[in-house]
Amino acid sequence: MRVFGIDPGSERTGYGCVETDGSRHQLIVSGAICAMASDSFPDRLARIHAELTRLLAECRPESVAIENLFHASNARSALKLGHARGVAMLAAVQAGCEVAEYTPTEVKRAVVGYGRAEKTQVQQMVKLLLGLDHLPTPHDAADALAVAICHIHARPMTTARSPLAAARTADRPVARSWRQYRPAR
């Protein structure tokens, strides 16, 4: 399964694509789409849309996970962020991808285990979960990768990884919580 994560922003939009087999995650691509300071706001949105459209065509993910607007310092910032999110969602829908949204708290809880984690903690866990040699930078790219990982952890795998894995799990009930987990004998 391949998931493309997006951390929208009008000045810098982070992106990251992660592939998983259900137990191991692998980085496909990550980075940030940066706007030029001289660009008008409509030009920034056009650049975000064009770059995401190109990246989604290259990566061909099954689904796209986008960070949801949670709060902003003022109404103008929230409105600009909403426009950037809309452009990102449009690119995902045009690429034929399923779109899921997660709040920053949900993302941090899924990746770090604590909903109020610091950005450096998120970066460190993304590095560990993807087996990277260095911290993903900039923060926007790390956040986008975290959104993708959150989506992977939120969804059960719909396809068996192999016939052997399917046979091992066929006779065991699926654990919905860590409290229900029982190791294989």
Is the Cβ–Cβ distance between 10 and 87 less than 8 Å?
A: no
- Is the pLDDT reported for residue 121 higher than 60? yes
DSSP 180: G
Condensed to tens digits (0 to 9), the pLDDT of residues 22-64 reads 889 999 999 999 988 899 999 999 999 999 999 999 999 999 9
Among candidate residues 19, 39, 67, 171, the one labeled active-site is 67
The partner residues of 20 in beta bridges, in order of sequence, read 25
Higher pLDDT pick, 158 / 24 = 24
- Annotated active-site residue 67? The verdict is yes
Report the residue count for the chain.
Answer: 185
The per-residue pLDDT for 36 is 87
- Please name the residue ranges forming H helices in the chain: 41-59, 75-94, 104-111, 119-130, 139-154, 163-170
| Phi (first) and psi of residue 31, to 5 degrees | 165, -160
Domains of the chain listed by start with CATH number:
2-180 (3.30.420.10)
The per-residue pLDDT for 78 is 86
Ranking 77-81, 93-97, 139-143 by mean pLDDT, the lowest is 77-81
Judged by DSSP in three states, 27 sits in strand
The per-residue pLDDT for 88 is 97
Closest among 2, 5, 1, 3 to 142, alpha carbons compared? 5
Separation between Cα atoms, residue 4 and residue 71, nearest integer Å: 23
Residue 75 — very low, low, confident or very high, per pLDDT cuts 50/70/90? confident
Separation between Cα atoms, residue 178 and residue 35, nearest integer Å: 43
Among candidate residues 43, 58, 101, 140, the one labeled active-site is 140
Residue 69 — very low, low, confident or very high, per pLDDT cuts 50/70/90? confident
